[in-house]
Amino acid sequence: MSASRWRNRGHPAYWAFLVHRLSGLALALFLPLHFVALARALRGAAALDAFLAWTRSPWVVASEIALVFALAAHLTGGLRLLLVEFVGWKSEGQKALLAVAGGVAAFCAIAFALNVV
Amino acid sequence: MSARAETRLWLLQRTSAAALAVCVAVHLATIIGAVRSGLSAAAILGRTNGSLGWAAFYAAFVLAVSIHAPIGLRGIAAEWLGWRGRAADAVFALIGIALLALGAYAIAAVTR
Amino acid sequence: MNGTLSVAVWRGGADGGYRTYSVPRRESQTVLDVVTYIQRRLDPTLAYRFACRVGMCGSCAMTVNGLPRWTCRTHVADAAPDDRLEVGPLAHLPIVRDLVTDMRSFFDKWARARGAFKGTATRRDDFARVEPGSPARRAVDAAIECIGCGVCYAACDVVAWNPGYLGPAALNRAWTLVNDSRDGARAQRLAAVAGDAGCHACHTLASCTERCPKHLSPTAAIAGLKRATAVGLLRGEW
């Protein structure tokens, strides 16, 4: 794909789509791991604690922050889509809507990061 | 898939999305609250063990995501991998069932 | 105005390539002026389309520096601030030759979306009364000015990813008819625009709305079709 083709994609709604799709993909891939990790609790609290100790390693923490952002971004982006599809698209409000969505998602990620780092 | 079936799939996707909006908001608040007071098995299980309320919440959560995620993945596979048709539809339906089963297992584990 | 433009123009079919020409810069020059200069002065074998050259017909739509646009309304000063232009045929359509595309699939999809009015009245009936301020008529008015230039179709990535996708223009036209109280083919049209080839394939990328030279919003029209098909299905209308 030539560089000039990307110029057609350099607008906010396109980035919103990309974030929404990629965050959804990441969450879908993460989910089975999440369920399996929680199922460890079946072997007792100690088994879960052992797993949680592993999650303190730096790259896991970084991934978790990214996942929290992905979850929040997918939520806020999804709410925007529900608005567009059920209430309607009005060109004037779109950029503001995206700014709010991005802001809330970033807030969640930061709130999480501050408490886990 | 017929136009009617695709429309029903779209409705399922948006309905599950609306349910997930609530579940995810609660989940995010729970996560951020949990890491603030230190994450440990005792803290998690203390909240969820024996709780019918949490079991019901997570059951709804798992059901909604088991519908929502496979439909989304199906779209990505069709558009970015060119994978469409009955076989693909069957695989994604199975993924939904697998998520449901794994999720139920996880709920059972933490709400005993 | 002095200076020279370096213009890379697509030559040949799908397996062709860009050939570079030097074109003198002029005041208020448009990309269509540039292409015309090349064909008249440098290379008479260059094939391209235009008609009105004043921004009314949409025939001159091409890809300019990666963006689908009307070349008669694209000033070189805006499109090529560094004196370099890349001009190619409209995307997502088979290339006939050079800058000319085969638009049959674009218009076939228009027909498949039932983008044609189906009358129900006869000459013996009174005129239909359509309230111009009604929400339905305002929805039609907002979308009716489409001239079928193909820019939105070329801009939409879903058209590239989903070969059967009817595309923004066809769906936008169908939307104007869904809201037309005089139309008699509602059930067939809702069936035609629903599904993976229709409105449900739209992911609100909004490249169509971003690029439309008439400032229409197929994104809004397609969102409307999603509502209409869903409600219609639940009500047993189609």
- What is the four-CA torsion angle of B55, B56, B59, B63, rounded to 10 degrees? -170
- Which residue matches tokens 């520096």? C65
Domains of chain B listed by start with CATH number: 3-111 (1.20.1300)
Contacts of A45 in chain B (CB under 8 A): 41-42, 45
Q: Note the pLDDT of residue A90.
A: 81
Strand partners, C88: C63
Q: How far away is chain A from the Cα of B99, in angstroms, using its nearest Cα?
A: 7
Q: Note the pLDDT of residue B35.
A: 82
Helix H or strand E encompassing C7? strand C4-11
Domain boundary among the residues C101, C127, C154 is at C101
User: Is C110 found in the same domain as C97?
Assistant: no
CATH classification at residue C9: 3.10.20.30
Distance CA A64, CA A62 (A): 5
pLDDT tens digits along B54-107: 899 999 999 999 999 999 999 999 999 999 999 999 999 999 999 999 999 999
Report chain C (238 residues): mean pLDDT per 10 consecutive residues.
89 96 94 97 97 96 95 93 93 97 97 94 92 95 96 97 97 97 94 95 95 96 96 95
A35/B31 touch (CB, cutoff 8 Å), yes or no? no
Distance CA B33, CA C126 (A): 68
Domain boundary among the residues C101, C121, C146 is at C101
CA closest to C220 among chain A residues: A89
Q: Note the pLDDT of residue A116.
A: 74
Distance CA B4, CA C194 (A): 7
Contacts of C158 in chain B (CB under 8 A): 79
Contacts of C217 in chain A (CB under 8 A): 89, 91
C205/A8 touch (CB, cutoff 8 Å), yes or no? no
CA closest to C79 among chain A residues: A7
Contacts of B89 in chain C (CB under 8 A): none
Q: Note the pLDDT of residue A58.
A: 87
A19, A73 Cβ separation under 8 angstroms: yes
CATH classification at residue C109: 1.10.1060.10
User: Is C140 found in the same domain as C69?
Assistant: no
pLDDT tens digits along A20-41: 999 999 999 999 999 998 887 6
**C55 is in which domain, residue-wise?**
4-101
Which token pair is B70?
A: 């496979």
User: Is C117 found in the same domain as C47?
Assistant: no
- From its phi and psi, is residue B64 left (phi > 0), alpha (psi between -120 and 50) or beta? alpha
User: Is C85 found in the same domain as C118?
Assistant: no
Please state which CATH class domain A3-116 belongs to: mainly alpha
Contacts of C225 in chain A (CB under 8 A): none
Phi and psi, residue C214, nearest 5°: -100, 10
Domain boundary among the residues C51, C78, C101 is at C101
Q: Which of B77, B60, B76, B68 is nearest to B26 (CA)?
A: B60
User: Is C213 found in the same domain as C115?
Assistant: yes
User: Is C193 found in the same domain as C165?
Assistant: yes
User: Is C131 found in the same domain as C91?
Assistant: no
Chains with 3 or more CB pairs under 8 A to chain B: A, C
Distance CA B108, CA C113 (A): 49
pLDDT tens digits along A44-88: 777 777 777 887 888 888 998 999 999 999 999 999 999 999 988
User: Is C179 found in the same domain as C88?
Assistant: no
C129, C121 Cβ separation under 8 angstroms: no
CA closest to A110 among chain B residues: B32
Which token pair is C202?
A: 């739209």
**Which residue, among A34, A55, A80, A115, would best test binding to B if mutated, counting the most B CBs under 10 Å from its CB?**
A115
CA closest to A53 among chain B residues: B40
B73 at interface of A, judged by CB pairs closer than 8 A = yes
User: Is C93 found in the same domain as C17?
Assistant: yes
Three-class DSSP category at C62: strand
User: Is C94 found in the same domain as C150?
Assistant: no
Q: Note the pLDDT of residue A1.
A: 37
A89/C226 touch (CB, cutoff 8 Å), yes or no? no
